[in-house]
Structure 1
């Protein structure tokens, strides 16, 4: 064999690993900062967020809460191996704990992620500010292609967008003879986008009234009674008779009778009929956005929502929902160099989606959906389908053809936001609506004390092992010491890189896994060295005994480590939380120990076998075996 080559490969592994540690995976800061592993909640503290189920009427069932917990936990795990704790407290609260400053990661975990595809049937701009102040100029709408701001919402792209409106498009598919060899499905990008921006002199819309805590668990009947009391019977009856949005262009003061509607809370507005929400001019987008979670989730009802904060839109019943999506995946569109979310529908969902796009595509210019698109975009070719996630409209593109294949949600996505939306769709919608409860910082004082005690115990144990190894094996003890050191360096570099790229979090349980793996590594030394003594005792020279001992011990070492790895894999799959972190650490360190066994321990022993020190009983550690062999020769 050529031990120099194996040692060279090991050196290359170290170089590549630490180049990744220092320069890849978003490494930043000083070299010291880049060597810091991602520590867990028990070591550095973290954030604990509380989500309280919104009880509109009956409280959630235990089954619904457990389903919600599992979905939230899946979303957390999709962020990386973070060992987050997701537990149910009481009958309506879920508590999520993450290490470090995790506000950005926690804020969207409880979003329901209810995807709805609805035909757009009506639109009007938000004139609430003008209705309350007739003396000020009213907002105006100017249609300009591609000028829509980025979609808002928890799973939508950030508002700092390039200005391109998100759209649903159909990916081209190869023509087949069964379909007559048709052309690829056309895209559904909107031909024009809204710019519902008020004139510079127009007043800004008023903020929604603050939520009333007493309305949190109020029924719809109680909320309607409260709203009617604020508005008054006469104005209420007048609002119920509206069949279209109040036109302020001919009478600037036509909205003043409805001034009291501006005082309704989001919960009270949610209790109104969709027609009243849409037609009353003083109900603003800020009030619609303040409605409780799940306000427009009903698939069998028409709903009203705001698009880009400047237009109130009326939407038809949901013909396609998130459950009709078989798989969602983030992809980088090479043609436009932007991230998209690709949608594969179930067989039934594809039928629904095709029928919905056929309805939109075949609509005539007199249909309400066609008129709505004309009003929204300034020009219209076909009707539009709104892509709605929870309370937010991600996009409302015109349908340019009947879509019968895979589709995409496009927009100003980043890799992270595209993955987040895809994960939410894949894991399913949460069956319970939540409101964010109090968040608090968790101290790591107790964990740090335990860490210090654990590291001290580990150092004492390793020191005793080193003393015993040098006393019993002498020169071979240095091989043990160097092997363990190299394994430790490989493991440390791996956990730093994995923490930065995959979110692996080092906790006390993980440290325990690493320490246990040292015992597995020590066992492999005993197997190899004792096998070497047996070979020399049988009359072979140390130089010939080394490869023979390796050949006979190798199978046992591989078998023992394989069993440990399999146990770690099984434990990781069937467990959660800290136990899962222990299993991951044990499996990782065992794999890296095998790397050191093959690329360092065996070649270094081959090199030592040709030295004079290795042949000395006092230096090598083979001791009595070499002396007995010498005595046999002399006899």
Structure 2
């Protein structure tokens, strides 16, 4: 539905849309390899198709990829398909509130944080649970609960000399900073997660899996120091968004690890389960943002299956599963620009395309009325039926699966006029042949149909196969032409079999057509019937009467 009317949705070239430019960044600073760019284009195109968006354009230009999605409301989709989708599972080393800590302010003795046991009850955890298949399923990625912040509470400020550990006093447990690099602690102090740009790509350098990193959570309320990645997103075999049966209205993403990932995840959860405080947490990091960081309470998870939960809505869960399902991009990309684009061809060309279709239809109508006379009515009604059926199918596809009609698609619809006209011309010529051989009109209609049917099916099958092959080997707008060509070929078969043939069987029973009126197109003179055949046909008609 468009503007309150049931009309097909228009593609990027006819209605404009949104475009994003993704620029590839390499660790060495050298231009990316062509093979990597081609792989990235294919993955992004798969993501777009997985979201059910038709007629999107994904092209590589040098070290950049241009993604164009029709419709001005698709900005979020364009941003989502450009995610690098680098998924890491890391152990949390330290966490604190999101705001940066002043590095030049003397610090009083750090405040005590509750013990791990005190905060444990309010923290979501990773626990094995039996799935329907009998495998242990880890509730791996759950949103932090209110108790997590307390369990990992840090002092209000860190000492300026960055000690590797803080003193402990009494029975209260202090944050453990052992093993954390001084440079990492300094970066942690300066990071402000309330700034949105620090929650979208890490704000600068390319992230390395085998190093400690400082990142924010996706809400910007907490920041983390994470250890080296122990499980990579490439070890994820399958990702699926499902509704949470235990929490109505909430969605989650299930992950299945391969054999290597199962062993790595088991080792990671084993190590974390033996720690306390922040180091009992496993962070799930996607594109330098912590999606969730639950704790380990019941030992290691060895089943190879995990769940990402985090107060997801359906669309959010499906988008995340779509990104993970098609894999990480081979390169890291920065969004150079995102903007709305005006139609590249516009409504004027749409009007021109429709006008060309009407002119073509008019020329066909003139020809069939001139050559076939009254049978031209059958031709025009068949074309009208084909047009209405095609319009209805395209409109329904726009409504339910997001199909968008492009100028190339309009070209495929115009070609369909010739395909449909060719079908009934084959039928009419077979009918003429039968009458010339001495058959009555009623006999000729049935006998000619058997011969014409085979020819029509053969021709339409060849056209349909050509459209399928063109759709498979082509990309972007050429697919739009191939799709509408295949669709209209299928519609042509339906119209000829279910409308044109039954209509002819009814018309030859009328006096105007069956009696051979000179304007019916079935008169002896119109068919070129010899005098001997005319006499024989009249005798047959008399006996039938």
- TM-score normalized by structure 1? 0.70
1:631 counterpart (512, 527, 535) = 535
**What secondary structure does 2:81 align onto?**
coil
The equivalent residue for 1:6 is: none
Which of the numbers 246, 252, 259 marks the counterpart of 1:347? Answer: 259
Cα deviation code 1:257-302 (max 9, x no counterpart): xxxxxxxxxxxxxx98323334x4x543346537745757422112
1:569 is displaced (CA, Å) by 0.9
Residue 366 of structure 2 is matched in structure 1 by: 467
**What is the aligned counterpart of 1:53 among 2, 24, 37?**
24
Written as runs of structure 1 = structure 2, the 5 A alignment for 1:387-402 is: 387-399=284-296, 400=298, 402=301
Kept in 2, the 8 Å contact 1:294–1:390? The answer is no
Report deviation, 1:601.
1.8
Report what 1:121 is aligned to. Answer: 93
C-alpha contact (below 8 Å) 2:460/2:489 kept by paired residues: yes
- Root-mean-square deviation (CA, aligned residues, Å) is 3.8
Q: Is the 8 A contact 1:37 1:506 kept in 2?
A: yes
Structure 2 residue matching 1:107: 3-state secondary structure: helix
CA distance in 1, matches of 2:395, 2:306: 38
Which residue of structure 1 lines up, in the alignment, with residue 177 of structure 2?
A: none
| 1:542-592 deviation line (CA, Å, top 9, x unaligned) | 223323222222222122111111111111111112211110111111112
Larger deviation: 74-83 or 561-570? 74-83
- Please give the per-residue CA displacement for 1:206-227, whole angstroms capped at 9, x wherever unaligned: xxxxxxxxxxxxxxxxxxxxxx
Query: SS in structure 2 opposite 1:120?
Result: strand
Contact preservation (8 Å) 1:507, 1:581: yes
Q: Does 1:371 align with 2:281?
A: no
Give the secondary structure class of the aligned counterpart of 1:403: coil
What is residue 193 of structure 1 aligned with on the other side? 145
Match of 2:483 among 561, 584, 607: 584
Match of 2:220 in 1: 309
Alpha-carbon distance in structure 2 between the residues aligned to 1:439 and 1:189 = 31
CA–CA distance in structure 2, aligned partners of residues 56 and 68 of structure 1: 17
How far off is 1:305 after superposition? 2.1
Deviation at 1:626, TM superposition (A): 8.4
User: Secondary structure of 2:55's partner?
Assistant: coil
In structure 2, do the counterparts of structure 1 residues 139 and 418 end up closer, same or farther at CA, with 3 Å as the change threshold? farther
- SS of 2:323's partner is helix
- 1:197/1:189 CA distance change after superposition, 3 Å: closer
Change beyond 3 A, Cα 1:404–1:458: same
**Alpha-carbon distance, 1:517 to partner:** 1.9
What is the distance in 2 between the residues matched to 1:522 and 1:132? 83
Tell me by how many angstroms 1:56 deviates: 6.0
Q: What pairs up with 1:519-598 in 2 under 5 angstroms?
A: 519-598=418-497
- Larger mean Cα displacement after TM superposition, 543-552 or 398-407: 398-407
- 5+ unaligned residues in a row in structure 1: which ranges? 1-26, 149-164, 176-182, 199-204, 206-234, 248-270, 374-382
Q: Secondary structure at the match of 1:301?
A: coil
Q: Judging changes above 3 Å, is the alpha-carbon distance between structure 1 residues 633 and 430 closer, same or farther for their aligned structure 2 residues?
A: closer
**In structure 1, C-alpha distance between the alignment counterparts of 2:8 and 2:487, rounded to whole Å:** 15
1:88 aligns with 2:40: no
8 Å CA contact 2:379, 2:424 repeated in 1: yes
Change (3 A) 1:38 1:112: same
Q: Using the alignment, how far apart are the partners of 2:211 and 2:291 within structure 1? A: 19
Question: Pairwise mapping of residues 231-270 of structure 1 onto structure 2 (< 5 A)?
Answer: 239=160, 241-244=162-165
SS, match of residue 73 in structure 1: helix
Task: Name which of 276, 283, 299 aligns with 1:386.
Answer: 283
1:604 to 486, 503, 518: 503
Q: Tell me, in whole angstroms, the C-alpha distance in 1 between the residues paired with 2:485 and 2:207.
A: 45
Q: Trace 1:149-188 onto structure 2 (pairs within 5 A).
A: 172-175=131-134, 185=137, 187=139
Equivalent in the alignment of 1:151? none
Distance across 2 between alignment mates of 1:471 and 1:571: 36
The structural deviation recorded for 1:144 is 8.6
Q: 1:485 to 1:562 in 2, by over 3 A?
A: same
Deviation for aligned residue 1:508: 1.2
User: Which position in structure 1 is the counterpart of 2:186?
Assistant: 276
- Counterparts of 2:144 and 2:200 in 1: how far apart (Å)? 28
Aligned 8 A contact 2:93 2:225 in 1 = yes
Q: Structure 1 stretch 446-455 or stretch 502-511: which is displaced more?
A: 446-455
- Between structures 1 and 2, the one with greater strand share: 2
Write out per-residue CA displacement over residues 21-54 of structure 1, whole angstroms, 9 at most, x where no aligned residue.
xxxxxx5863x2xx23211222123333222334
The 1-side partners of 2:139 and 2:333 are apart by: 36
| Matched-pair contact (CA < 8 Å) for 2:122–2:148 | no
Shift of 1:335: 5.0
* Equivalence for 1:518: 417
Alignment of 1:320-339 (within 5 A): 320-337=231-248, 338-339=250-251
Instruction: Quote the offset at 1:386 in angstroms.
Output: 1.6
Give the secondary structure class of the aligned counterpart of 2:185.
helix
- Given the superposition, is the C-alpha separation of residues 441 and 465 from structure 1 closer, same or farther in structure 2, using an over 3 Å criterion? same
Structure 2 gaps of 5+ residues are 151-156, 169-180, 540-545
Q: Could you say if the C-alpha distance between residues 547 and 409 of structure 1 is closer, same or farther in structure 2, counting changes exceeding 3 Å?
A: farther
Contact 1:114 1:297 in 2 (8 A): no
| 2:44 equivalent in structure 1 | 72
Are the structure 2 counterparts of residues 577 and 139 from structure 1 closer, same or farther at C-alpha, using a change threshold of 3 Å?
farther
Q: Cα deviation per residue 1:383-442 (whole Å; 9 max; x = unaligned)?
A: 332211011111122344523143322233333322221221122222332322234443
Residue 380 of structure 1 corresponds to which residue in structure 2?
none
Query: Which segment is superposed worse, 74-83 or 570-579?
Result: 74-83
Question: How many residues of Structure 1 are paired with residues of Structure 2 in the alignment?
Answer: 504
Tell me the equivalent position of 1:504: 403
Please name the residue that 1:255 is paired with: none
User: Is the CA contact (8 Å cut-off) linking 1:130 and 1:139 kept in structure 2?
Assistant: no
Instruction: Name the residue aligned to 1:156.
Output: none
Tell whether the 8 Å contact from 1:190 to 1:398 is kept in structure 2 after alignment: no
Aligned 1:435-446 pairs, distance under 5 A: 435-444=334-343, 446=345
Look up the SS of the partner of 2:378 in the other structure: helix
- Give 1:99's match in structure 2, choosing from 58, 62, 70: 70
